[in-house]
Amino acid sequence: MADDSFTKGTKGFESFRKGAAYSLNTPQTVYAKDIVLVGGGHTHVLFIRRWKMKPLPDTRLTLISPQVYTPYSGMLPGLIAEHYTFEQTHIDLRRLCQWAGVRFIQDHVVDIDPNTQHLSLERYPQLNYDILSLDIGLTPDLSIPGAAEYAIPVKPIGDFFRQWQSLKQTVKAGQQSHYAIGIVGGGAGSIELAFATSYSLKYVTTHFTIHLFTASPYILSNYLPKTRQHVKHKLFLEQVCIHENFKVSNVCCSSIYDQHSKEVHLDKIFWCTHGKGGSWLKNTSLDLSEQGFVLVKDTLQTLKFDNIFAAGDVAHLTPEANAKAGVYAVRMAPVLFHNISAQLTGGRLKQFKPQQHFLSLLACGDKSAIGERVPFSFSGTWVWRWKDFLDRQFMKKFQQLSFNEMPSLINRYLHENTTPVMRCDGCGAKISQDILAETLQTIGVNDQAEDAVVIPWREANYLLQTVDQLRAFIDDPWLFGRIAVIHALSDIYAMGGKPHSVQVAITLPYQQPSSLKREFLLLMNGIQSELNQAECVLVGGHTAEGTELSVAVTVNGRRGLGKLWQKTGAKPGDVLILTKPLGTGVILAANKAAQAKGDRVERMLAMMLLSNQAAVPIVKKFQPHAVTDITGFGFLGHLLEMLKPEQLSVELDIAQLPVLEGATDLFRYGWQSTLQTANENNRHYLYEANQWLKEAHYPLLFDPQTSGGLLIAVSEDVANECLNALQVDYPQAAIVGKILPKREQTTTTVHLKK
């Protein structure tokens, strides 16, 4: 127990205050101010690139977005027409933020309080800001009766793309003889969507008609007459029916009606009209336009709050409104970056002056395009090649991210047996199993310990105690605090116990008191939320300042119903079940260098947040013979702890190991945790290991896990029933091997099969 622990009640929190450490050699303050960007629009992603080149001193930058991938709208038609893949048309926000040293939070903002300068989020605790910027795009205006129920809005693009893929599969299946598709809107986006859908569907069926509806007297009302002529001719060739002066008054499941009750029968309706601001903005103190957009001055500051900015489609310039076009969002980025910097440093702000005319290139589906730059209008395949080049150059800024601080893949580690350039975090930061065992033996301590210490306590009851420490592997104190607790409690669950109380020892990075308070509150909110979920009490702790965030958790537990589980005790014929997938070590290593895909990191974090708590009552029903959890020493290291004391051997089905998506690819590209090499010292227990070196799952045997799953040995006759019960909460749980009959062998051997 810590010497400044306490028994119960708020009195004990004195230990946190006592734990603060100060030194004459304390480095310069890291963070004093917080800039928060809400939304991953074009302006903000370009802002982040500029931040990478020239970050403001003593200032933290955070991006909040509900999506990990943000689309580049200029390439959406090419995605629909299948000229581009999803990855080519989307910016990976998590990876971009990791590369630029920006904190990323995946969540929805639901309110802003400009007076207290904090944000309310859907899941995340309240977040404070010093400077706030909004770039959240627009929301489809589905106010026309029936539109919300029966129309498919083009934004959010991710939702629309899934609907489009589903429609295409339906058409391909040929469930009806003819399909009528309606597109509501007469602007550039609607035109490009009509061309792209027509082009794409031609490869599936010729039995379809596309209808284009606009309330204006003609399509592309803001374009040159010659450009409209080019577009209309091209639409005619594509057999797209144009309905001008068609003001939609009502939408139903199979039809659309105009102001004169004229009906057009449609199987699907895509909604591509002008949008409005997010509905949640109405509850804030911000000044809004009639359409719900944020009113801003030419400095991009809101009218009443100089420390709140807005850019992109959600911004409405006053006194003269700007058009909603990607080109304006792009050109707002340097002004926004300069003005936010100036607002913090007391500099002079710049004015944003939207240009009157700009280059507009409309993709026509078939790798031709129509363009204009007043007073010129032009068309042809060369225009498509020009547009394709410009779009790819823009996306290249966000997809080919050089990490100058990191060496190349080949040279990122120094010569063998020297200190790696980049040390891993999480459970990949452990001391190797060999060094630990040798050191404990030297001082006369048994290294064959259980997952938690068992202390006899009062009339045949037992106190369980364990300690775990993690160095932060993600720049999100709330999320990290949650995972640190889940990881630590796992040792108690691995023995079939129930957590009772914890103490935490926290090291926070050096920063100004106001910023330190914000970070500490986020961290403790995360810790407390998971302790509440586990019905476990925080009874004490210790704090200090240091160079990086780390959390150590000491857990006290008690025996639940039934006997305690142990690592040892597996019997020949037992079946091995693993509850959670492997691969956290390699994904964390790649993510540290911004080389892991954002959706892969999100799935890894979701797995880490999946506690082993729910597995305990399930597994107890099947009376396991041995249980342990898989953490820093990797799957093989912890499996050997189960086998070696009783000299058991096992047949392991390497192909059945559950794996996090992307982990095997990262191994193939050369990534691995810094603890991987030390864990590979156990490979001599593998029978004919050299035969398996090229097997994709082989490196996963040694990959250090953070918040890993349980490895369970149960009788063969109940294994499938146990697995089925576990898969309700742990869908990737799998049977991975079987304990072999005990023969005359004197050493433990792991036989691999596929």
List the catalytic residues.
Answer: 427
In 3D space, the residue among 155, 156, 214 whose CA is nearest the CA of residue 183 turns out to be: 214
Torsion angle (degrees, nearest 10) of CA 300, 302, 305, 306: 10
Compute φ and ψ for 6, nearest 5 degrees. -140, 170
**C-alpha pair distances (Å), 13 with each of 19, 185, 209, 536, 600:** 10, 60, 70, 16, 38
Instruction: Return the beta strands (E) in 431-482 as ranges.
Output: 453-457, 461-471
Q: What is the DSSP string of 121-190?
A: ESSSPPEE-SEEEE----B----STTHHHH-EES-SHHHHHHHHHHHHHHHHHT-SS-EEEEEE--SHHH
Taking the CB of residue 90, how many other CB atoms lie within 10 A of it? Answer: 26
Say if residues 182 and 255 touch (Cβ distance below 8 Å): no
Beta strands across the sheet bearing 550-559? 453-457, 461-471, 550-559, 497-509, 537-546
Residue where the block lists tokens 């010093």: 130
CB contact at 8 A, 54 and 68: no
Closest CA to 39 of 474, 336, 400, 354: 336
Radius of gyration of the chain (CA): 30
Q: What is the 3-class SS of 536-552, one letter each residue?
A: CEEEEEEEEEECCCEEE
Which pairing describes strands 550-559 and 497-509: parallel, antiparallel, or unpaired? antiparallel
Query: Which residues are registered as beta bridge partners of 627?
Result: 712
Measured distance CA(374)–CA(261) in Å, rounded: 38
Residue type, 83: H
Among 113, 90, 138, smallest CA distance to 36 is for 113
Q: Helix, strand, coil % (nearest 5) of the chain?
A: 35, 25, 40
CA 260 to chain centre: 48
Count of Cβ atoms closer than 10 Å to residue 443 Cβ = 6
Two tokens at 627?
Answer: 């249980």
Which amino acid is located at 427 in the chain? C
Q: Which two tokens stand for residue 654?
A: 């390497």
8 Å CB contact between 488 and 523: no
Q: β-strands 308-310, 131-134: how paired?
A: parallel
**Separation of alpha carbons 63 and 48, rounded Å:** 9
Neighbours of 156 (CB within 10 A): 16
How many Å from the N-terminal Cα to the C-terminal Cα in the chain? 47
- DSSP output for 218-239: SSSTTS-HHHHHHHHHHHHHTT
- Count the Cβ atoms, other than its own, within 10 Å of residue 379: 21
Length of the chain as a residue count: 754
Cα separation, 72 vs 358, in Å, equals 18
Amino acid at 227: T
Query: Cα–Cα distance between 137 and 39 in angstroms, integer?
Result: 8
The stretches of 210-311 forming alpha helices (DSSP H) are 225-237
Beta-bridge partners for 552: 469, 505
